[in-house]
Amino acid sequence: MTFYFENVNAQSDSDVVKLNIILHPVQTITVNSSQRSVDLNYITEEDYENGVTATIDDHLSVTSSGGFQVNVASNDDKFSSSSNTEGIPAGDVSINAFNGSENNLDNIFGNVILSTKPESLITSSTGGRDLKYSVTYDNSAGSSDRYINKKPGKEEEIYTIEVTYTITSK
């Protein structure tokens, strides 16, 4: 009796899948929803003499999957009022940023004179999630009674401008 063995292909009891982790770039910037309006109030004689500054803690929140730059610009070259066509120059306000709560990144901060041209406010070589930045709006250029005659009548006069923050990859 002779036995013959044939090479038989058995069914596989395993297989392989290639698993990929694909990291897409993500960048977001958000102004704290309770801080969407910032007021620089001229109330006292000292305000008109020295100008007014407001620091807003944790004003901006940034998420970026890598290095980034935050720019700031205004929508107009002057603050406008409903009753005063002369306006106030946007460049009377400078904007500064600094690390907010729980943000230890080593950033480069610019002192931006507000204008319609986007200028670098924050630059970081690394990214992070939910990075908080505090912002100072400095209107000390409104000192030395520069605005003393811009308020007609007995009611307050409100001058408004829109400020836009944008984020780009670095």
For the chain, the domain total comes to 1
109 domain residue, yes or no: yes
pTM value?
0.88
Q: How confident is the model at residue 1 (pLDDT cuts 50, 70, 90)?
A: low
129 domain residue, yes or no: yes
Burial of 130 (0-12, 13-18, 19+ CB in 10 A): exposed
Q: Distance (Å, rounded) from C-alpha 113 to C-alpha 125?
A: 23
Residues 99/67, Cβ–Cβ less than 8 Å: no
88 domain residue, yes or no: yes
8 domain residue, yes or no: no
CATH number at residue 102: 2.60.40
List of long-range contacts for 16-23, beta carbons under 8 Å, 24+ apart: 23/65
Which structural domain range is residue 55 located in? 27-32+45-148+158-169
113 domain residue, yes or no: yes
Per residue in 52-75, pLDDT (tens digit) is: 999 999 999 999 999 999 999 999
Residues 6 or more apart from 40 whose CB is under 8 A from it?
52, 53, 54, 93, 137, 139, 142
Per residue in 2-43, pLDDT (tens digit) is: 666 566 566 779 999 999 999 999 999 999 999 999 999 999
